[in-house]
Copies of this chain bind each other. A is one copy, B any other.
Amino acid sequence: MNNKVYRVLDLNLSQQELLVNETLFHNANGYLGVRSCFEEGYAPGLNSVRGTYINGFYDIAPMKQAETLFGLVEDKEVMLNVADTQSVSLKVCGETFSMFQGEVLESERILDMKAGITTRRVVWRSPAGREIEITVNRMASFLRKPLFLIDYRIKALNFGGPVTLTSTHNAEVMNFADKCDPRLAQSAIRQLSVTSCEVRGDESYIVSATNQSGLSVCSGVKNLPSKPCRKETCREGNAANCRMETDIRAGETISLAKYTVLTDSRRFADCRAAALREMARTAAVPLQELYDEQRAYLDTFWKNAVLEIDGDADLTCAVNYNLYQLLQSAGRDRYSGIASKGLSGEGYEGHYFWDTEMYILPFFALTNPEIAKSLLSYRYATLDKAKENARRLGHGQGALFPWRTISGRECSGYFPAGTAQYHINGDIAYATATYWLATGDIDYIASEGLALIIETARLWIDLGCWYRGSFRLNDVTGPDEYTCMVNNNYYTNVCAQYNLRWAVKAVKLLRESGFDDAVEKLRVTDEELKAFAEAADGMYLPYDSERGIIPQDDSFLSKPVWDVPGTPREQFPLLLHYHPLHLYRYQVCKQADTILAFFMFGFGRGYDAAVRSFDYYERITTHDSSLSLCVFSMVASMLKNHEKAYAYFGNSAMLDLKNTYGNTKDGIHTANMGGLYMSIVHGFGGLRIREDGLHLAPAVPEPWEGFRFSVTFHGNRILVEADKNGCGCTLTEGESVSLTLYGREYRLDRARPSCRAALEASK
């Protein structure tokens, strides 16, 4: 069984199924993404989110506030749907191919995660009885970012005759809008205007400009049929259609290679020239070579990101599906992060949230540190805007990263559940430290990371105040959006404490390593470091000694408890059925908040308090956010509650593949995908990277025989293989590495690349 091939029969043509599959089988490479719509379109009346996206390519749309207040955001960035190049229509002997006419004899969709290709395979019988097999491979090249390829093959099964293929390149596009769902755009606005549309031989190039953001994008298309044919490319309005006519013999296969290149003005000074250049380069490469280089890229990726579950190939496949989507979603340059829906849909309008740092970056830090670094670099590139954002909020110093954004400006319209989530600052600092600990890449910290840590730390100092001997953070919102604008949210405070401590630590470490310049550049003074240290030491961390648990914030526990089990199922998610003010008055959590702090920063008040807290929050958490299950899984693992850990994990693994949240049509849930990885590697695997090194303590879930994963630590790749009896570690790349397995230290090198410890050693 190949656990890197995900395959579904595609015979259910319901609206829901079509939209979900558009998402699940989208092709992306971190730069561009194309939803998996049928090339020939759907039957009239069926909706399609026929989207093609470029990571970080946006326009600015108005977002008027109901009441104007000083400093509120009145517009937002939105990821744009760019030119549609996935359309190919087919006519055989005068009959037009459609899944909604004639008879579909076979139909499946396949994602081959080793090849980096999706395949759609259909056997169709026309109304007149002609049978054809259509096989469409699609690929978003991981190596050639602007390239999206459609390899469209037709085999005549029982007839011969004329075939017409019409390949369209259409730039009259808009984003999808849904008036009824607050998580989508409310109204369709034409954000892109075509500025030029040209046909150059068998290629076409369309340049479009955004309304407000001053950006432009060029899409280029080239159609290469496998067989000589009558071919004509014509401009029709703002589209360019290429019509190809030929004859097919029974049993013959003919194909069309449709190359798309997308270049935007954020990355390319002259996007039209860049598109022409990319097209010329790509078309010169044989198709097979493009496939080969894609496969080679993925060979490396999977070597670094081994994740296998012994005895459950389906689950392994599902988990690998999730990891593959992370690779598809992650931006790799200073213009892009990871949108909450990746490049697979328009949910949350393509915005980047804290999901990137807290849920996804750990995966890349352990398997592909270059991407983790790039994600941090994206934040660094927006640091000046984060400083402006802080000023808008009234802060005299430091940077406040926006709650949701594309280019770095705050795009959150409802600030109590958006901008007020100051913890994003701590999350970014935490991710920076995580990257540093995992890679030892002090050069990056010196050049950019330190600024991220220091400017966020500075903001805490400005935000907080001393009261009764401790340092307090008032009027912020924690991760749980069902309680807003509170004082001393435990998660936020402990996150700020970590941020402040790392600011002091980073300066010390950089100075010790001779990077005084990096410190100088930020004008860090000793007084400031003293203030950081004092605020961290004095940080107020609420604790309820009566109940023996950690309160989510100062007043959380004084509120009545929401009756979660007694709430009818159709009332979830609560945010779609209750006024926010009502939710704020109850102990009810949309997602892990205090529990997430346990994973990141330890139990704080010891094991017993953590057990009590876990039980307490478990009862009042609805998991209405997709960022919750995986955290509960990890912390259950920490608490050795393996059954619960596994149950939470299971719910998390199938979230998109089974569309359990009902909104996979709007895009994949990237945070959950990263969280799924974490619940295996950090949860079951017990992996931690601390200042004293790499720690592992795998415990195999009861339903599994064992599991294995590879991680990279300071440039050394280690294969971790756990079974019911214990765990073995093998250095598979690098010179030597130290690690702690079940509490005991081992040193692996070329001479002795492996170690093994029995589970009993663990306590």
Q: Tell me the A23-42 residues at the B interface (CB within 8 Å).
A: none
Given A70-B576, A559-B465, the answer on whether A581 and B475 have CB atoms closer than 8 Å is yes
A284 within 8 Å of B (CB atoms) = no
| Docked pose: A485 CA to B69 CA in angstroms | 16
**Which 3 residue pairs are nearest across A and B when measured between Cβ atoms?**
A66-B413, A394-B582, A71-B579
Among the listed stretches A14-22, A414-422, A741-749, which one makes contact with chain B, having 4 or more residues with CB under 8 Å of it?
Answer: A414-422
Chain B residue contacts of A394, Cβ below 8 A: 578-579, 581-582
Q: Known pairs A66-B73, A416-B416, A554-B555. 14 more at Cβ < 8 A?
A: A64-B66, A65-B65, A66-B72, A67-B412, A67-B413, A69-B579, A71-B582, A392-B579, A416-B485, A419-B581, A420-B581, A474-B555, A474-B558, A474-B585
| Docked pose: A472 CA to B64 CA in angstroms | 35
| Docked pose: A322 CA to B412 CA in angstroms | 44
Kindly identify which residue among B414, B415, B487, B555 contacts A65, using a CB–CB cutoff of 8 Å. Answer: B414
Some 18 contacts from A to B, beta carbons below 8 A apart, are A63-B66, A64-B64, A64-B66, A66-B413, A66-B414, A69-B580, A70-B575, A71-B578, A72-B580, A393-B579, A393-B582, A416-B416, A465-B559, A468-B558, A474-B555, A474-B584, A484-B485, A487-B555
| Docked pose: A559 CA to B475 CA in angstroms | 10
What count of chain A residues pass the 8 Å CB interface test?
51
A489 to chain B, nearest CB (A): 13
Q: Tell me the A540-576 residues at the B interface (CB within 8 Å).
A: 554-555, 558-560, 575-576
A555 to chain B, nearest CB (A): 5
A349 to chain B, nearest CB (A): 11
User: In the complex, are the beta carbons of B68 and A575 less than 8 A apart?
Assistant: no
Chain B residue contacts of A70, Cβ below 8 A: 575-580
User: In the complex, are the beta carbons of B69 and A558 less than 8 A apart?
Assistant: no
| Docked pose: A580 CA to B65 CA in angstroms | 14
Q: Tell me the A60-98 residues at the B interface (CB within 8 Å).
A: 63-74
Kindly identify which residue among B67, B395, B487, B558 contacts A467, using a CB–CB cutoff of 8 Å. Answer: B558
A182 within 8 Å of B (CB atoms) = yes
A186 within 8 Å of B (CB atoms) = yes
| Docked pose: A575 CA to B394 CA in angstroms | 12
A-to-B contact residues, CB < 8 Å: 63-74, 182, 186, 392-395, 412-416, 418-420, 463, 465, 467-468, 472, 474-475, 484-485, 487, 554-555, 558-560, 575-582, 584-585
Chain B residue contacts of A579, Cβ below 8 A: 69-72, 392-394
User: In the complex, are the beta carbons of B487 and A485 less than 8 A apart?
Assistant: no
Chain B residue contacts of A554, Cβ below 8 A: 555
Chain B residue contacts of A578, Cβ below 8 A: 70-71, 394
User: In the complex, are the beta carbons of B584 and A485 less than 8 A apart?
Assistant: yes
Specify the chain B residue showing the minimal Cβ separation from A560. B465
User: In the complex, are the beta carbons of A487 and B580 less than 8 A apart?
Assistant: no
Chain B residue contacts of A472, Cβ below 8 A: 558
| Docked pose: A585 CA to B585 CA in angstroms | 20
Specify the chain B residue showing the minimal Cβ separation from A483. B475
A519 to chain B, nearest CB (A): 30
Chain B residue contacts of A71, Cβ below 8 A: 578-580, 582
| Docked pose: A459 CA to B63 CA in angstroms | 34
A473 to chain B, nearest CB (A): 9
User: In the complex, are the beta carbons of B182 and A581 less than 8 A apart?
Assistant: no
Chain B residue contacts of A72, Cβ below 8 A: 66, 579-580
Kindly identify which residue among B412, B465, B558, B577 contacts A487, using a CB–CB cutoff of 8 Å. Answer: B558
User: In the complex, are the beta carbons of A69 and B575 less than 8 A apart?
Assistant: yes
A238 to chain B, nearest CB (A): 30
